[in-house]
């Protein structure tokens, strides 16, 4: 599993719409509204780098109201939860 953290700056007038549009993209598991210079943080979980690139470059970056993104790919995931099983329901 590939995990990407996408920091999103959005037009302040469109934050609710951007949040929902990003959350509706398959492969986006969560969207967090945050305080500070970043408006939203989206968690993207895929099986391949190609899938992540499509979701981030071709979908999130093209959502109306997204001003800028900064993506971080997780090299390792440390968790007490079995994330693979949480996100494999229905496969």
CA quadruple 37, 57, 28, 62: dihedral sign: positive
Instruction: Using pLDDT thresholds of 50, 70 and 90, give the confidence band for residue 14.
Output: very high
State the pTM of this model: 0.85
Domain ranges of the chain: 2-65
Average pLDDT of the residues of the chain: 91
Instruction: Using pLDDT thresholds of 50, 70 and 90, give the confidence band for residue 88.
Output: low
pLDDT at 5: 98
The whole-angstrom separation of Cα 75 and Cα 77 is 7
CATH of 2-65, one of 3.40.190.10, 3.30.70.920, 3.30.1330.120, 2.70.70.10: 3.30.70.920
The whole-angstrom separation of Cα 16 and Cα 68 is 16
């Amino acid at each position: 599993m590939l995990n990407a953290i996408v920091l999103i700056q959005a037009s302040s007038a469109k934050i609710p719409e951007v949040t929902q549009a990003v959350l509706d993209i398959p492969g986006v598991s969560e969207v967090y509204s945050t305080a500070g210079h970043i408006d939203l943080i989206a968690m993207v979980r895929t099986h391949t780098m190609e899938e992540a690139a499509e979701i981030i470059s071709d979908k999130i970056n093209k959502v109306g109201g997204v001003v800028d993104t900064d993506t971080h790919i997780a090299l390792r995931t440390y968790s007490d939860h079995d994330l693979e099983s949480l996100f494999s329901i229905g496969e």
